[in-house]
């Protein structure tokens, strides 16, 4: 359901970006600030949607993590898991940790400080990086196209 909602939202916003025009006597696509702002909204939607997926499925899901503990069967290894001297003994990844993972994956197009140790987690990160790359390419292409 989250996938359908995210896809619908992205298609809806994307359609508005591509079709919205300024009324100046000629058809000039509205790029700044609206087009770039929409690109930011799409990026934020991408980051939040993937953060929710990472958070929901890591370790078998939130209910399983609550029963078995955060360390039971992680798909992601956070640096804090190895830095007991600097962290409290009860540390476990929370939504903000997954949000940072998602933001870094979407913007860096490279591995983050968090290691994905399950194949499905690696594939999900590849999908997010690819999606972010396509979105960035489309926004940049629209910007260049609007200049001519």
Tokens of 133: 């790359």
Domain count, the chain: 1
Residue reference for tokens 């860096």: 108
Tokens of 68: 């078995």
Each residue of 31-52: pLDDT tens digit? 455 556 777 888 899 999 999 9
Helix orientation angle between 95-108 and 119-147, rounded to the nearest 10 degrees: 50
Predicted TM-score (pTM) of the model is: 0.71
Each residue of 90-141: pLDDT tens digit? 777 889 999 999 999 998 877 778 999 999 999 999 999 999 999 888 878 8
CATH number for the domain that contains residue 71: 1.10.287.70
Provide the 3-class DSSP secondary structure of residue 21: strand
Q: Which domain holds residue 32?
A: 2-147
């Amino acid at each position: 359901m989250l996938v359908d909602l995210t896809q619908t939202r992205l298609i809806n916003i994307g359609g508005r970006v591509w079709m919205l025009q300024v009324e100046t006597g000629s058809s000039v696509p509205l790029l700044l600030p609206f087009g770039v702002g929409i690109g930011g909204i799409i990026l934020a939607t991408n980051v939040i949607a993937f953060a929710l997926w990472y958070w929901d499925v890591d370790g078998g899901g939130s209910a399983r993590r609550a029963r078995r503990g955060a360390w039971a069967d992680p798909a992601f290894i956070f640096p804090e898991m190895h830095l007991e001297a600097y962290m409290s003994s009860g540390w476990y990844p929370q939504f903000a940790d997954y949000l940072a993972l998602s933001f870094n994956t979407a913007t860096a197009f490279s591995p983050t400080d968090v290691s994905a140790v399950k194949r499905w987690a690696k594939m999900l990160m590849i999908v997010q990086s690819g999606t972010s790359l396509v979105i960035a390419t489309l926004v940049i292409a629209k910007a260049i196209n609007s200049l001519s």
